[in-house]
Amino acid sequence: MNFTRALWYYLWIAPHAFQALILPAMLYHRLHRRYPAFFTYTAFAIVEFLWFFLVARFQPAGYLRGYSIDLLVSTILRFAVLCEVIVNLFGDYKSLRRVGKRLMAGGLAVFFVAATLLAVFVPGQNSDHSWWSVFVMDRTASILQCGLLLLLFLFSRYIGLSWRSPAFGIALGLGVFACVEFAISAIRAQFGSAQRIPLDLTSMLTYHFCVLIWLFYTWMPERKPAASAMAIPEHDLEAWNTELQRLVQR
Amino acid sequence: MTIAVLLVLMACLTLALVLWLAKGSVPKLLSTNISEDSNNCLRSVDIQAFRNLIDPAEEAFLRSNLPSAEFRMVQRERMWAAIAYVSCAAYNASILMKVGESARDNPNLEVAEAGRALVDDAIRLRLYALHAMAQLYLAVALPGLVVCPLGVPDRYEKMTGLVIRLRSLQYPVRSVVAAL
């Protein structure tokens, strides 16, 4: 077995072995109640790996169909996980629930229009039509996920939201994977199955890295911010005193 | 091929931006005390001076008493100053958000509720500030434009009151000023 083949098998098997460790971590920390979509996605990823590893690779005729169905379900589950992260993040803040929902809905509409226009006007030059449609759909979904995650990170950074560990880890892993898949699906939509092996290895390596991020953040317990006696600088005490007096006199 | 190259570049740029944003948002792995971080110092904000800068009556007085060229120059300076005040207010809101966050999990329900109220108000102020900055930058570009971001000083004053309430709940025995 040469090095590339060995690496390919390792990158195919190892992430799913690590994902099998994520499930007990979530059960132990009771995270499956807060993040049921992510729990379902992880379980699905393990099941689909077992299906492809033990069954589908011996039936090449049905491989494209199986891959298409797997891609569709995975994409839907990743969107569900993304929604779950957003709801968990904004749900902790009463003032953000309406604004956050509108922002994400607006972002989704804009990115959907952009991705659809790209699919229509820049369809690629892939001669293999059956795989081409899969790659274009994958590219469209990746654009949506990338865009939403970027918007989420930008908004939460500006507002100064404190991320709880699992939500941050899940979002980071999704974001990294979505960005790399965006690039890879753009190349595949244009050039088809050429350079399949390097692209596959890149995608699998990225997924491996993302699974390790998820494993780390699901095993790490959540840390609450420490209560602090923050000292206010002296030059502010006068301003605060004035403010206090004004409030008292009302 | 050009489109594919552009899309790949966009994906790489998005990845770099996500990683950079994520780096700044990493949840602290060790428990932290906000007062130990030297970057978390409040900045002084003179609310009355800020209100004067964005007062429509003040602007109308200047507009009617100054030549148009001079009014535009003065108005631009006033808007730049207002932007500085809004930035300070937004910065203070981000600091006080952390104070509110640390109080949200307090076992005392009143303190927890006060912490939550402070966090919500600080977020609202940050959102108002974003909107106000957009209006003020537009006013710098178009000095004749009438803008009145009164939401910022009003919200800032409310936030001040919430901080005082939170601190008095957390330190009920000492006086409020000593608590501050």
pLDDT of residue A53: 84
Q: Mean pLDDT over residues A59-73, rounded?
A: 78
Confidence of residue B28 (pLDDT cuts 50, 70, 90): low
User: Whole-angstrom Cα distance, residue B176 to residue B174?
Assistant: 7
In chain B, the number of structural domains is 1
pLDDT of residue A108: 87
Of A80, A16, A11, A7, nearest in space to A48 by CA: A16
| pLDDT over 70 (residue A170) | yes
Cβ partners under 8 Å of residue A135, min gap 6: A124, A126, A185, A188, A189, A192
pLDDT per residue as tens digits for the range B124-156: 999 999 989 999 999 888 877 777 777 888 888
Residue B22 belongs to some domain of the structure: no
Whether residue B29 and residue A223 make contact (CB cut-off 8 A), yes or no, is yes
Share of chain A above pLDDT 90, in %: 32
pLDDT of residue A65: 77
Count residue pairs from A and B with Cβ separation < 8 A: 157
pLDDT of residue B23: 80
**Which CATH fold topology does A3-249 show?**
Rhopdopsin 7-helix transmembrane proteins (1.20.1070)
Q: Which DSSP string corresponds to B34-79?
A: GGG-TT-------HHHHHHHH-HHHHHHHHHHS-HHHHHHHHHHHH
Range with the lowest mean pLDDT among A228-232, B17-21, B101-105, B157-161? A228-232
Residue B37 belongs to some domain of the structure: no
Domain that holds residue B96: 43-179
pLDDT of residue A174: 93
Q: Mean pLDDT over residues B41-60, rounded?
A: 84
Interhelix angle B47-54/B68-104, rounded to 10 degrees, is 140
> Which one has a higher pLDDT value, B170 or B139?
B139
Mutate to test the interface with A, among B6, B8, B12, B21 (most CBs of A within 10 A): B21
User: Whole-angstrom Cα distance, residue B90 to residue B82?
Assistant: 12
pLDDT per residue as tens digits for the range A116-164: 888 877 766 655 666 777 777 888 888 899 999 999 889 888 888 877 7
Q: CB of B151 within 8 A of CB of B140?
A: no
Residue B110 belongs to some domain of the structure: yes
pLDDT per residue as tens digits for the range A7-65: 989 999 999 999 999 999 999 989 999 999 999 999 999 999 988 887 766 776 677 77
Residue B4 belongs to some domain of the structure: no
pLDDT of residue A224: 58
Q: Mean pLDDT over residues A103-109, rounded?
A: 87
Whether residue B34 and residue A241 make contact (CB cut-off 8 A), yes or no, is no
Core vs surface per residue A87-121: b (16+ CB within 10 A) or e:
bbbbebbebbeebbeebbeebbeebeeebeebbee
Q: CB of A181 within 8 A of CB of A149?
A: no
Q: Mean pLDDT over residues A182-202, rounded?
A: 82
Q: Mean pLDDT over residues B96-116, rounded?
A: 87
Mutate to test the interface with A, among B1, B17, B18 (most CBs of A within 10 A): B18
Could you tell me which chain B residue has the CA closest to the CA of A158? Answer: B126
Using a CB-CB cut-off of 8 Å, the residues of chain B touching A187 are: 4, 8
Core vs surface per residue A205-239: b (16+ CB within 10 A) or e:
ebbbebbebbbebbbeeeeebebbebebeeebeeb
| pLDDT over 60 (residue A225) | no
Using a CB-CB cut-off of 8 Å, the residues of chain A touching B3 are: 122, 186, 190
pLDDT of residue A190: 76
Q: Mean pLDDT over residues B71-78, rounded?
A: 90
pLDDT of residue A3: 85
